[in-house]
């Protein structure tokens, strides 16, 4: 990452806390629009055990509209200025726009989290390559407003893996170091609930791409297929189950809203996983340094 910092992946599962500075995100829209409130939330997440903070200035929930880069920058820049002074853990910027990523990296962000896998703005990869930032590439199809029209798969494991591989290759061709890239199967994005569960179950297959994996099931609507209709905050127990499954199946990072609760979940799941490995299991071979 920039400045010679390294994020060690594979020793234990890392917890990424979600910090949306948006008015319309599905789980926490409007809570952290004020930069002071956002800063306080980030400081609290760090104290609660988060390993990274993911700051987002544009909602990517299904049906949301894209906003201009200038508006997104106006939301994230004052927050990142504050976090650079008060938070010691790495900060990620959740954006698909090169202009936003460039500003965020200039304000101290160390990673870029692109939910489009470089399909929206290929120049984002060049920004990441030039800065030495870590790059998270998520699988999705279409844009937020119409993504479910693209939820057609003959084989979720094969098609998601193939499209993640294409994103990985685009990043490397743009100059991003292979060991700076993390892949995310994109639970809930251009996927029916069944597709999301299939993608979660397929984590060992995605590990064959040779890069660490991030999984983000937190409070998403696909969990309702198992537990019925709930508010986003009412899905925390279901999120815990999905996070546990992700850890046991090889996730290196989990992205969550409820940091203290999921830190506890991850610590227990990590011990179960390590006990299994000590008893004769195998690793997925993707332990790496970002």
| Nearest one of 93, 129, 144 to 114, comparing CA atoms | 93
Give 3-state DSSP helix, strand, coil % of the chain, rounded to 5.
Answer: 50, 15, 40
**Does residue 24 register a pLDDT over 70?**
no
Q: Which domains does the chain have, with CATH numbers?
A: 12-278 (3.20.20.20)
**What is the 3-class SS of 222-284, one letter each residue?**
HHHHHHCCCCHHHHHHHHHHHHHHHHHCCCCEEEECCHHHHHHHHHHHHHHHHHHHHCCCCCC
- Residues designated as active site: 220, 255
> pLDDT tens digits for 177-229?
999 999 999 999 999 999 999 999 999 999 999 999 999 999 999 999 999 99
Mean pLDDT of the chain: 92
> pLDDT tens digits for 253-286?
999 999 999 999 999 999 999 998 787 765 554 5
Q: What is the mean pLDDT of residues 136-154?
A: 88
Q: What is the mean pLDDT of residues 39-58?
A: 97
**Does residue 8 register a pLDDT over 80?**
yes
């Amino acid at each position: 990452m920039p400045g010679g910092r390294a994020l060690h992946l594979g020793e234990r599962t890392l917890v990424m806390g979600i910090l949306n500075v948006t008015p319309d995100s599905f789980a926490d829209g409007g809570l952290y629009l004020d930069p002071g409130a956002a800063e306080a939330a980030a400081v609290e997440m760090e104290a609660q055990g988060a390993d990274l903070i993911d700051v987002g200035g544009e909602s990517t929930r299904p049906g949301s509209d894209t906003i201009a880069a200038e508006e997104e920058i106006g939301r994230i820049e004052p927050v990142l200025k504050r976090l650079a002074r008060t938070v010691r853990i790495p900060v990620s910027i959740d954006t698909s726009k090169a202009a936003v990523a460039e500003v965020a990296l200039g304000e101290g962000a160390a990673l870029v989290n692109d939910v489009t896998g470089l399909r929206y703005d290929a120049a984002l990869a060049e920004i990441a390559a030039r800065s030495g930032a870590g790059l998270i590439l998520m699988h999705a199809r279409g844009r937020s407003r119409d993504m479910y029209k693209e939820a057609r798969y003959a084989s979720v494991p094969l098609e998601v893996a193939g499209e993640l591989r294409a994103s990985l290759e685009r990043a490397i061709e743009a100059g991003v170091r292979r060991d700076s890239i993390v892949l995310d199967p994109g639970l809930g994005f251009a996927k029916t609930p069944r597709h999301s569960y299939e993608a979660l179950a397929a984590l060992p297959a995605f590990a064959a791409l040779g890069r660490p994996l991030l999984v983000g099931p937190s409070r998403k609507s696909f969990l309702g297929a198992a537990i019925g209709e709930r508010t986003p905050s009412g899905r925390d127990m279901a999120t815990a189950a999905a996070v546990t499954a992700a850890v046991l199946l090889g996730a290196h990072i989990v992205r969550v809203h409820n940091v203290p609760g999921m830190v506890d979940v991850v610590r227990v799941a990590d011990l179960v996983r390590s006990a299994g490995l000590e008893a004769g299991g195998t690793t997925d071979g993707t332990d790496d340094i970002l």
